[in-house]
């Protein structure tokens, strides 16, 4: 249970507080700091919840834990506990576990208490904001499947924080500055490419060509000379080397012009960003992520801070010279962090230092989460530590901001190697999304052919809209439901299946409930008295009562997968309930009304959970 949900006055909250009171009454000083939260029982025969404080308390006091448990049980069962009407007689099991079972009426009123907009999700009132580093695309390059993860997971983590009431800033740290971009600009200009007609594919090609042009083969040349490869080969390599050096010089020149604000250069550069971002926003829109121009805070926006960032580290004695360059050293690692090159240029790390200071200090964040490829772990370790050393992680009120790298694993192909096209190129994210949408649409259209399907007879545009939602849900859920740090295999067939641990399965469960409520019409009464009689109803209600905890837990642990698991078990538990307990054909009116209300709460929990994950929940499927 979540301690922050104590504002609730429902039976569960009362039971939690009674447990705390009992533990401190029995334990006295020894109870200090003990975990008194109620844990959901693993099996129905252990009751609904367990209180496990008797063991640590017994240990501290040097007493038999079962004896301690007996005293706790007596305290809970006494009329003064205030929960005697809420629970059945508690049982002691094994070394001193206390099994608690709520009375059906208490379960009903606990559910009643969460049956409002909030669905039992406690809102955290914090003065400071949280910043999430999302997306992080690079200008002039196609989005690939890695950007799917920084975009999807980043946005969902942001939504989770928003759901628990926190102010959130999404920051898209675009790679929009530096030599590679200047190189591309130069190459486009010398070739007289019409920037107005440019699309991202063409831009991507120009980027790669510019890289090639600037890449001489110094090693090859040395080897050719050493091995006396013949004048022809050597001359060829020399020419290549010369033109590479010329391209590099030209790119540096272009960078200087860009940096000094040359109007023509700047206009071309802006056009490159526009071409890139048009496509990025096409993807983020299809993906239903809230990443837009407001999230844009690319590397270039910190370009004027870099010299000053470096000066600050020098001034504080935290940066030292190393062979002409400036580095920050850390006590516990060999490798220093480079913040200024010998030629005076700044680095990825320098920009990240400036950005992190901005996030903590200007955006007033007491938590900054970087949703970035796990392979950048060392980079963030350095940047975070350097920021703490110089004091930029500390807010004016003394709060030390928590800096976290949520590193994600790699998306793999069927061969368990990083996902590539047959020709070995990176998959364009857009192509993957389109493939998923096609699959989803085909599945939904096929279903709609059945005269009994709720979608039968809907117009084609509506059916295709549902299909798109299904395809995207498939991709997003697959990305969110595995533990973030792990690699996973991209398998579209499995992802779009309506059965199993998939997004479409959850959507389908939600749509079934919606259809059921629609059929019930005015027989559904949102205020009907809730009856919790059968074991299936009981299990379903207990699970619903944990919705708030599931959301809060996924947010604070930065693991959307936990909410996925919760929603999946809610959908499965609902199926079990539904096969055992008729709803529209219930034995009497009171039971039917109660069950319809239960259906409606489950539907809303699913819809809310899916929305928090960033997954659409169509009403019909």
- Site residues, ligand ARG (CB under 6 A): 133, 136, 138, 173, 175, 352, 355, 370, 372
Residue 120 or 175 with smaller CB distance to ligand ARG:
175
Half-sphere exposure of 141 (CA within 13 A, CB side): 21
Question: How far is residue 463 from each of residues 286, 616, 620, measured CA to CA in Å?
Answer: 16, 14, 9
| CA atoms of 494 and 506, how far apart (whole Å) | 14
CB of 349 to ligand ARG, least distance (A): 9
Residue 188 or 369 with smaller CB distance to ligand ARG:
369
| CA atoms of 517 and 607, how far apart (whole Å) | 14
CB of 171 to ligand ARG, least distance (A): 8
CB of 351 to ligand ARG, least distance (A): 8
Residue 239 or 425 with smaller CB distance to ligand ARG:
425
| CA atoms of 367 and 566, how far apart (whole Å) | 25
CA-wise closest residue to 309 among 353, 347, 341, 248: 353
Residue 26 or 134 with smaller CB distance to ligand ARG:
134
Question: How far is residue 583 from each of residues 102, 351, 470, 588, 617, measured CA to CA in Å?
Answer: 24, 59, 27, 10, 22
Residue 176 or 549 with smaller CB distance to ligand ARG:
176
CA-wise closest residue to 607 among 579, 556, 567, 574: 567
CB of 169 to ligand ARG, least distance (A): 13
CB of 26 to ligand ARG, least distance (A): 51
Half-sphere exposure of 474 (CA within 13 A, CB side): 28
Residue 242 or 378 with smaller CB distance to ligand ARG:
378
Question: Which residues lie closer than 8 Å to 249 by C-beta, 6 or more apart?
Answer: none
CB of 144 to ligand ARG, least distance (A): 10
Residue 114 or 272 with smaller CB distance to ligand ARG:
272
CB of 390 to ligand ARG, least distance (A): 17
CB of 214 to ligand ARG, least distance (A): 19
Provide the 3-class DSSP secondary structure of residue 461. Answer: helix
Residue 73 or 152 with smaller CB distance to ligand ARG:
152
Residue 163 or 359 with smaller CB distance to ligand ARG:
359
Question: How far is residue 295 from each of residues 148, 168, 222, 370, measured CA to CA in Å?
Answer: 16, 11, 47, 14
42, with CB counted inside 10 A (0-12, 13-18, 19+), is exposed
What's the first-to-final CA gap in the chain, in angstroms? 34
Half-sphere exposure of 314 (CA within 13 A, CB side): 14
CB of 273 to ligand ARG, least distance (A): 13
Name the residue with the smallest CB distance to ligand ARG.
Answer: 136
Rounded to 5°, angle at Cα 387 from 382 and 390: 125
| CA atoms of 413 and 488, how far apart (whole Å) | 9
CB of 302 to ligand ARG, least distance (A): 10
| CA atoms of 266 and 269, how far apart (whole Å) | 5
Residue 358 or 508 with smaller CB distance to ligand ARG:
358
CA-wise closest residue to 552 among 562, 544, 538: 562
Residue keyed to tokens 């989770």: 160
Residue 295 or 612 with smaller CB distance to ligand ARG:
295
CB of 148 to ligand ARG, least distance (A): 13
CA-wise closest residue to 431 among 200, 184, 614, 610: 200
Question: Which residues lie closer than 8 Å to 431 by C-beta, 6 or more apart?
Answer: none
| CA atoms of 563 and 565, how far apart (whole Å) | 5
178, with CB counted inside 10 A (0-12, 13-18, 19+), is buried
| CA atoms of 366 and 386, how far apart (whole Å) | 17
Find the Cα–Cα–Cα–Cα dihedral 487, 546, 502, 618, rounded to 10°.
-130
CB of 3 to ligand ARG, least distance (A): 33
424, with CB counted inside 10 A (0-12, 13-18, 19+), is exposed
Residue 161 or 524 with smaller CB distance to ligand ARG:
161
Residue 133 or 608 with smaller CB distance to ligand ARG:
133
CB of 376 to ligand ARG, least distance (A): 7
Residue 134 or 448 with smaller CB distance to ligand ARG:
134
CB of 146 to ligand ARG, least distance (A): 8
Residue keyed to tokens 């308390």: 57
CB of 285 to ligand ARG, least distance (A): 21
CB of 568 to ligand ARG, least distance (A): 30
| CA atoms of 412 and 148, how far apart (whole Å) | 13
Residue 27 or 298 with smaller CB distance to ligand ARG:
298
Residue 161 or 358 with smaller CB distance to ligand ARG:
358
By the 8 A CB rule, do 341 and 310 touch?
A: no
């Amino acid at each position: 249970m979540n301690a922050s949900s104590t504002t609730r006055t429902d039976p569960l909250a009362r039971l939690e507080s009674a447990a705390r009171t009992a533990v401190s009454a029995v334990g006295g000083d020894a109870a200090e700091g003990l975990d008194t939260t109620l844990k959901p029982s693993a099996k129905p025969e252990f009751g609904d919840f367990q209180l496990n404080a008797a063991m640590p308390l017994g240990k501290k006091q040097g007493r038999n834990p079962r004896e301690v448990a007996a005293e706790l049980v007596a305290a809970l069962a006494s009329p003064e506990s205030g929960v005697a009407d809420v629970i059945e007689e508690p049982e002691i099991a094994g070394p001193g576990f206390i099994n608690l079972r709520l009375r059906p009426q208490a379960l009903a009123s606990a559910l009643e208490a969460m049956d409002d907009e909030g669905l039992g999700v406690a809102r955290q009132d914090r003065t400071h904001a949280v910043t999430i580093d999302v997306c992080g695309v690079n200008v002039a390059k196609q989005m690939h499947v890695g950007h799917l993860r920084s975009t999807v997971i980043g946005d969902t983590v942001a939504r989770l924080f928003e759901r628990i009431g926190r102010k959130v800033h999404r920051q898209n740290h675009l790679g929009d500055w530096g030599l590679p971009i200047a190189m591309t600009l130069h190459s486009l200009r010398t070739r007289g490419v019409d920037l107005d007609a440019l699309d991202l594919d063409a831009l991507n090609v120009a980027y790669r060509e510019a890289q090639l042009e600037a890449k001489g083969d110094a090693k090859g040349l040395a080897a050719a000379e050493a091995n006396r490869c013949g004048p022809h080969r050597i001359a060829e390599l020399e020419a290549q080397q010369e033109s590479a050096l010329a391209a590099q010089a030209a790119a540096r020149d272009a960078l200087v012009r860009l940096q000094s604000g040359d109007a023509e250069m700047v206009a071309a550069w802006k056009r490159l960003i526009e071409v890139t971002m048009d496509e990025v926003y096409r993807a983020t829109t299809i993906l239903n992520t809230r990443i837009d121009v407001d999230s844009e805070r690319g590397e270039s926006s910190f370009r004027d801070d870099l010299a000053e960032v470096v000066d600050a580290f020098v001034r504080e004695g935290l940066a030292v010279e190393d062979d002409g360059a400036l580095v920050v050293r850390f006590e516990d690692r060999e490798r220093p962090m480079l913040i200024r090159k010998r030629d005076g240029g700044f680095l990825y790390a320098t920009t990240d230092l400036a950005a992190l200071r901005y996030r903590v200090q200007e955006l007033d964040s007491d938590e900054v989460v970087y949703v970035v490829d796990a392979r950048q772990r060392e980079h963030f370790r350095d940047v975070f530590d350097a920021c703490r050393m110089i004091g930029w992680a500390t807010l004016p009120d003394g709060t030390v901001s928590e800096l976290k790298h949520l590193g994600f694993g790699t998306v793999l192909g069927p061969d368990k190697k990083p996902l590539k096209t047959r020709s070995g190129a990176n998959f364009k994210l857009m192509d993957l999304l389109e493939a998923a949408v096609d699959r989803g649409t085909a599945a939904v259209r096929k279903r709609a052919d059945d005269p009994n399907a709720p979608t039968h007879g809907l117009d084609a545009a509506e059916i295709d809209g549902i299909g798109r939602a299904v395809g995207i849900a498939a991709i997003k859920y697959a990305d969110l439901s595995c533990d973030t740090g792990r690699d996973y295999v991209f398998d579209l067939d499995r992802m779009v299946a309506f059965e199993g641990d998939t997004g479409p399965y959850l959507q389908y469960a939600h749509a079934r409930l919606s259809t059921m409520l629609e059929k019930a019409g005015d027989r559904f009464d949102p205020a009907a008295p809730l009856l919790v009689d059968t074991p299936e109803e009981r299990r379903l209600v207990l699970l619903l009562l944990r919705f708030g905890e599931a959301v809060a837990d996924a947010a604070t642990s930065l693991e959307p997968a936990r909410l996925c698991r919760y929603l999946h078990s809610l959908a499965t538990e609902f199926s079990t309930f539904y096969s055992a307990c008729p709803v529209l054909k219930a034995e009497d009116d009171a039971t039917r009304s109660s069950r319809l209300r239960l259906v409606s709460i489950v539907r809303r929990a699913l819809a809310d959970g899916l929305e928090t994950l960033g997954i659409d929940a169509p009403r019909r499927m």
